[in-house]
Structure 1
Amino acid sequence: MPARVETDVAIIGAGPVGLFAVFECGMLRMKTVVVDALDAAGGQCSALYPEKPIFDIPAHPEIAAADLIAALEKQARPFNPLMLLSRRVEKLTRTESGFELTTSEGDAIACKAVIIAAGAGAFGPNRPPLDGLAAYEATGAVRYMVTRREDFRGKRVVIAGGGDSAVDWALSLKQIAQKVTVVHRRDKFRCAPESAAQLKAAGERGEIEMAIPYQLHGLQGEGGALTAVEVATLKGEVKAIPADFLLPFYGLSMELGPIAEWGLGVEMKHVRVDPATCETNIPGVHAIGDIATYAGKLKLILQGFSEAAMAAHAIHPRVFPGEALHFEYSTSKGLPVAG
C-alpha cells in the first residue's frame, strides 16, 4: 500500500553513502526516509559484490562489502529511518515547506530537504546477445554477480570479460571451482596491474584456462541447465567449453532515470554540486557519493561518507531555522535521545 509520510530529509539511495547519511542526519536530530529501487539496502555492495573485500575503509584493513553494509545499517538503526525499498523516486515537486517526492509505488514523501545518494543511478548488467539467454538466467546458470561464493564449489565456471570484476572473481573462484575459464577478446585486461599479473601467472600454472582471443558465441544445454559455453574467434572458429555456470562481466548500464528530468545540473550522467555543502543548483537538494561531481572529486566510499556529513550540516538550518548549530564531536555528544 502506498505510503504518505512527512519527514525532515528524504534520502534517495540505500547504498553505503545513503546509509551513512541516515546516521549523520540522525546525529543532528533530523528524521529520514530512504528510498531505493533494490529490494534490500546496500546498493552495488549488496547487489554486485557482497563477498568482495574492500580495503580502503578506515579502521578496517579488510571488510566484505556485505559486512560493511550490515555495520552501516546497525549504525543507522538508532535513528529509525523509514526504508521504502523496491521503488524509485519518479517526481520531485517543490512545495511551500520544501519538497514532495512521488515514487513508482505511489508513495508521497513530504520533506524539507533531499539528499541524492543514488550512486550511478539505476543500473543493470550489460547482457551478452546470446540466443536462449533468458532461460539460463532464470535458473541461475548465467549470473551477472556473485552473491554466494560457495555456489561454485566443484563446478565448471566460465567467466567472460576483461575488467576488475572478471579478473578478481577468476582469481577467487579458482580456489574452489573444479575449473575456471576466462574468455576475453584480447590478451590485455582492464584491471589493476597486480591482478592482471596474478591472472597471467595462474594461467601459466594451469590453474585457470585462458580462452584468448575469443568472445561468447552461444550456450548449450536443456531446460535452463547449462552444459557448455560456445566461444568464437574473430575469424569465426567456434569451440565449446564444458560449463555449469557462465558469469558475463561486461559492466553495468548506468542511467539516471527520472533524476535527469528534475532540472539539476547534470554533466555526463553526474550531478554537479558545491563541494562545501554538496548542494545542487536547486536549493535544498544535495547530492553525495558517486552521483555527485566537483573539482577534485574522488569516487571513494570514504569521500562519500565525508559528503554525507557536509550535506547533513548544510541541511540543518532548513530543518531547524533560527537554531544555532554548535559543532560537537560524537565522543562528547553521544547519540541524541530519540524524540
Structure 2
Amino acid sequence: MTDAPTLSTDVAIIGAGPTGLFAAFECGMLKLDCVLLDALDSIGGQCAALYPEKPIYDIPAHPAIEGGALIEALDRQIAPFAVPRLLGRRVEGLEGHRGAFTLRTDKGDVISARAVIIAAGAGAFGPNRPPLAGLEGFEATGAVQYYVRRRADFTGTRIVIAGGGDSAIDWALALKDEAEKIFLVHRRDRFRAAPESLRQLDEAVAAGRIEKIVPYQLHGLHGTNGTLHGVEVATLDGDTRVLEADRLLPFFGLSTDLGPIAQWDLDSIRSTIPVVPSSCETSLPGVFAIGDVATYPGKLKLILQGFSEAAMAAHAIHPIVRPDTALHFEYSTSKGVPG
C-alpha cells in the first residue's frame, strides 16, 4: 500500500461539535493552524445530529438558541481562519509524542500535528433502545424515533414520550404546541430536570397540554405494518393500559463508546478522559481533552464549560507550537481577529 499524503498542521482537533468548533476559533485567535476531524459527515456533533431545533437556554448572551443555530453561528465565527475539515472520517490511530504526532483515519488520511485536542463529546453515540417486541418495524417507518430533528414533523400527532430526565421534559415542552396530545410516561412521579423546566411542566399539565402517566413503564406497541396505533404501558404491579398514539419518543439516554480513542495510551474513566483542570492536558503530554469527554473534579457537562476548556487548551498548546514566541495575552476587543 502506498503512503497517503500527509496534512501538516499545528493542532489536530478530533470532534467538530460546538466545543471543537470553538477550539478552532481559539487556536485561530492565537495564530495556530488547525484541522477539524469528525466521524459524522457534517459539523455540529449532537447539536446538529440529535436536536437542531431544540432550544438551548444556557449559552451566554442567548436567552434561547436552537442547536442548529448555535452551530451555524460557531461556523461563521471560525470562517476567517479557513479551517480545513476532514468529515466522515474516524480517527483510528495516534502515534508520536508532544510536538510531533501522527494521526491516521479510516479513509487513509495522515495528519501530522504538534498537538492534539480531543473534543469527541460522548464519542460514538447511539440511543438506549427499549426492549419491545416488533420495535424495529416501527423504527423503520419513523413511528418510533429517538431524536427530534424537525418539530413540524410532529404537528397534529399523538405522542408518547418516555423518560424522566432533561431530554424527555424538554421535548414534551417543545412539542406541546405542535402535537394533538402528549403523554409523558415515567416509572415514578419524580423527574430529573432543571427546576424551571419542572415548573413549566407543572403548568402544561395543569393546562391539559401534557398528561403525565406515572408510575408506568413501556410494555408493548400496538399497530400494523409499521403504523403505530397505541403504546401499552404497565405498572410494576402488572396493571396495563394502552395510550392511543401515533409516535413514540423514548429518551433513555445514549450508549457511548470512545472507539479507537480508548486504545490509545490515555488514562480513561468510564468513557471519559481525566485531564489537568488548568490546561485540559491528558495523561499523554501534548494531547488535550475538552467538552463532555473530559473529566476532572467539579466538572460540569455544559457546552459553556467546554468553551472555557477550549480556551485553556489553546493557550496551553501555544508554547508547544511556538516555543520561542512569548504569548502576550490580549482581549479580543483590543486585538481583533488575526488577519
Fold in common (TM above 0.5): yes
Q: Counterparts of 1:144 and 1:3 in 2: how far apart (Å)?
A: 39
Residue matched to 1:52:
54
How far the C-alpha of 1:88 sits from its partner, in A, is: 2.1
Percent identity over the alignment? Answer: 64
Q: Deviations over 1:24-79 (max 9, x none)?
A: 11112222111122222112222222222222222222222211111001101111
Asked whether the 8 Å contact 1:3–1:106 carries over to 2, the reply is no
How far the C-alpha of 1:222 sits from its partner, in A, is: 2.6
Asked whether the 8 Å contact 2:187–2:214 carries over to 1, the reply is yes
1:39 aligns with one of 38, 41, 50: 41
Residue matched to 1:316:
318
Q: Which AA in structure 2 matches 1:330? A: S
Larger deviation, residues 133-142 vs 188-197: 188-197
TM-score, with normalisation over the residues of structure 1?
0.92
Residue matched to 1:105:
107
Residue matched to 2:116:
114
1:291 aligns with one of 290, 293, 318: 293
Q: Which AA in structure 1 matches 2:268? A: V
SS in 2 for 1:8: strand
SS in 2 for 1:19: helix
Q: Which AA in structure 1 matches 2:158? A: R
How far the C-alpha of 1:193 sits from its partner, in A, is: 3.6
The CA RMSD measured in Å over matched residues stands at: 2.0
* Unmatched tracts of structure 1, length 5 or more: none
Q: Which AA in structure 1 matches 2:76? A: K
Asked whether the 8 Å contact 1:121–1:256 carries over to 2, the reply is yes
Q: Counterparts of 1:253 and 1:131 in 2: how far apart (Å)?
A: 20
CA gap of 1:325–1:205, structure 2 versus 1, over 3 A, is closer
Residue matched to 1:184:
186
Residue matched to 1:209:
211
Q: Which AA in structure 2 matches 1:110? A: S
1:227 aligns with one of 204, 209, 229: 229
2:90 aligns with one of 88, 95, 102: 88
Q: Counterparts of 1:147 and 1:111 in 2: how far apart (Å)?
A: 35
1:19 aligns with one of 6, 18, 21: 21
Q: Counterparts of 1:102 and 1:79 in 2: how far apart (Å)?
A: 24
Q: Deviations over 1:175-221 (max 9, x none)?
A: 12111111112212122244334434433443222222221122222
How far the C-alpha of 1:3 sits from its partner, in A, is: 7.2
CA gap of 1:204–1:332, structure 2 versus 1, over 3 A, is closer
Residue matched to 1:272:
274
Q: Which AA in structure 2 matches 1:169? A: W
Residue matched to 2:155:
153
Asked whether the 8 Å contact 2:146–2:250 carries over to 1, the reply is yes
Q: Counterparts of 1:116 and 1:123 in 2: how far apart (Å)?
A: 16
Q: Counterparts of 1:40 and 1:218 in 2: how far apart (Å)?
A: 35
Asked whether the 8 Å contact 1:217–1:230 carries over to 2, the reply is yes
SS in 2 for 1:266: coil
2:135 aligns with one of 117, 133, 136: 133
Residue matched to 1:199:
201
Q: Counterparts of 1:320 and 1:61 in 2: how far apart (Å)?
A: 38
Asked whether the 8 Å contact 2:98–2:286 carries over to 1, the reply is no
Alignment size in residue pairs: 336
* Unmatched tracts of structure 2, length 5 or more: none
1:71 aligns with one of 52, 70, 73: 73
How far the C-alpha of 1:18 sits from its partner, in A, is: 0.5
